[in-house]
Amino acid sequence: MVALRSLRLSPVLVALAATILLAGCAGNPLRSYDKEMQGTLQRLNSGEVDAALSNLESNNASIFSSSSDAPKDQDGEPTEQTQLDSVLGKDILYYFEKGELLKLKNDYAGSRDAWLVADEIVRVWEDEYRTNPTKVIGEVGAYLVSDRVRRYDGQDYEKVFLSTKLALDHILLGRFDLARIEMKKTFEREKLIESFRDREYDKIKEEGDKQGVATTAEELGDQGYPLDELDGPEVRALKNGFQNAFAHYLSGYFFELTGEYSLAAPGYRNALALQPKSKLIQAKVNRVGQQKPGRNEADVLFVVESGFAPEWKSITVAAPVPINRKLVATPISFPIVYSSAEVAVPRTLTVGKKTLPVETLVDVDAMARRLLKDQLPGIITRTVVRAVIKSTVQYQARKRGGVIGEVVAGIATIATEQADERAWRTLPAKLSVARAILPRGEVPISFDTGNGIWHGTITVNDRMTIVPIRVLGGQVYLGSPGSADIEEIREATGAAEPAERPAPARKKKPVKPANAKPQQES
């Protein structure tokens, strides 16, 4: 007790202790996001979306025990607080996952609304970087606490995916004006991330030089860090860890059908730059607008998502840390993304009498590993700098607070020194597409899920039709095809028209829940 009283906590210790007090909220350093999400993912694999949603909600339940304690708006109604409102508010991951789950329920409006909240959080980060890049870049090397306690703004590829998925939701909801804006935003976001990473790299190098940190990824590899996981051919084939070939292909598809060929062409060209072997994209580059659906046909895009995005794990290795001018091998945690088990992607879709090849445009698994590979030098610098500072803190605590002070500092160090495992887990591991001009009306569809042949029916309404499909093990979620008459799109976007006049607008048939009558053959 005497020792506790005599303990004079330094600001650093206070900061470390505060992180522990955040237990139960998004920034809780003891939170294992991967473990937390296991229940949700298992339920999705069993086709129980509602149960998965309930699980997500219970994991993110407010710390306020009753509605009377909850924050209220001006009218006295309980409000949902996000991480922008309070440190106790719901974080971006909750909105990422919720949007995905609602989309699997074909609740596109709910999904869009959840993702719009997530997008607002990303936009705050973007605005911070635009208005004060020096401050945002400066924070790169200024954290005393673990990466897992930092505000999570989403991984780079998640930020781009969010915008792409929002564009898809807008199309599925028939809001083509908003989809158009979202697509342009996606590419601005890509450029912003590119600029941020360039400047961050310089800052990290400067910070490392200043602190005398010269630990390299190779040295980490020598100490047991599985560098091979980050160096597969699929990882090396990527330009970076955030650009999304599907986002560009979707733009090509959308702008081609709206007749805006000067915007469609760069869409296909950028997609090809990211996926140079794709025959589907090659067939479109320099041939924009050459293949148009007839009066009673539609240009149908099948978006096939398979599996879950990889988990980020924490691995502890003995890294060389400069302490008292000597390099001391110190156990430190770093994140690692292991390549996940093979995800079943249907090789073809049988739609009506046609067999369509399915091509994978986005491998999130490889993107995550590429992102980690690119960010590893920065993570090493930050982590090692932190280790140096924490060793100083422990020394000071022992000096001022005796044994108890050292124990308190030690607990804080252990609690905060786990690598960041947070990631949008319900994202697909792979996103693939198939495309064909099909007659309007009900069309049977079947494909191999890896666990047997799945049969269903889609309704092709008008000239632009997008069919979302999610394959999770043997479970198939077939979305309601989003379709629209080109005139609606042109009206909404003010876009140019294709040379051929589209067929007159038809009243849309109510779409049956597409996975209502699936038949599985083994």
Binding site for another protein (CB under 8 A): 183-184, 187, 191, 198-199, 202, 251, 259-263, 265-267, 269-270, 273, 490, 494-497, 501
Our CB check for another protein shows the closer of 199 and 512 to be 199
Rounded CA gap, 459 and 449, in Å? 21
In 3D space, the residue among 501, 508, 509, 506 whose CA is nearest the CA of residue 294 turns out to be 501
Our CB check for another protein shows the closer of 123 and 398 to be 123
Q: How far is the CB of 242 from another protein (least distance, A)?
A: 16
Percent helix, strand and coil across the chain, each rounded to 5?
Answer: 50, 20, 35
Q: How far is the CB of 202 from another protein (least distance, A)?
A: 8
Cβ pair 33, 421 in contact under 8 A: yes
Our CB check for another protein shows the closer of 501 and 517 to be 501
Q: How far is the CB of 46 from another protein (least distance, A)?
A: 41
119: how many CB neighbours lie within 10 A of its CB? 24
Our CB check for another protein shows the closer of 97 and 190 to be 190
Q: How far is the CB of 118 from another protein (least distance, A)?
A: 23
Would you give the DSSP letter of residue 70?
Answer: S
Q: How far is the CB of 282 from another protein (least distance, A)?
A: 15
Our CB check for another protein shows the closer of 181 and 217 to be 181
Our CB check for another protein shows the closer of 155 and 251 to be 251
66: how many CB neighbours lie within 10 A of its CB? 7
Our CB check for another protein shows the closer of 449 and 493 to be 493
Q: How far is the CB of 134 from another protein (least distance, A)?
A: 14
Give me 238's structure tokens: 């990527």
Q: How far is the CB of 487 from another protein (least distance, A)?
A: 9
CA end-to-end distance (rounded Å), the chain: 69
Our CB check for another protein shows the closer of 271 and 336 to be 271
The C-alpha angle with vertex 107 and arms to 433 and 33, in degrees rounded to 5, equals 80
Which residues, 6 or more positions from 89, have their beta carbon under 8 angstroms from its beta carbon?
26, 80, 81, 82, 83
Helix H or strand E segment including 437: strand 430-439
Got the DSSP string for 282-346? HTTTT-TTSS---TTEEEEEEEEEES-PPPEEEEEEEEEEEETTEEEEEEEEEEEEPPPPPPP--
Q: How far is the CB of 335 from another protein (least distance, A)?
A: 27
Our CB check for another protein shows the closer of 354 and 501 to be 501
Our CB check for another protein shows the closer of 106 and 244 to be 244
Q: How far is the CB of 261 from another protein (least distance, A)?
A: 6
Cβ pair 365, 430 in contact under 8 A: yes
| Strand bridging mode 464-472 / 482-484 | antiparallel
Q: How far is the CB of 124 from another protein (least distance, A)?
A: 16
**Burial per residue of 331-364, b for 16 or more beta-carbon CB atoms within 10 angstroms, e otherwise:** ebbbbbbbbbeebbbbeebbbbeeebebbbbbbb
Helix H or strand E segment including 432: strand 430-439
Rounded CA gap, 123 and 135, in Å? 16
Give me 362's structure tokens: 């986005």
Our CB check for another protein shows the closer of 164 and 446 to be 164
Got the DSSP string for 107-153? -HHHHHHHHHHHHHHHHHHHHHHHH-HHHHHHGGG---S-GGGS---
Tracing tokens 């003995």 back to the chain, one arrives at 318
Helix H or strand E segment including 360: strand 359-363
Our CB check for another protein shows the closer of 191 and 507 to be 191
Q: How far is the CB of 362 from another protein (least distance, A)?
A: 18
Q: How far is the CB of 494 from another protein (least distance, A)?
A: 7
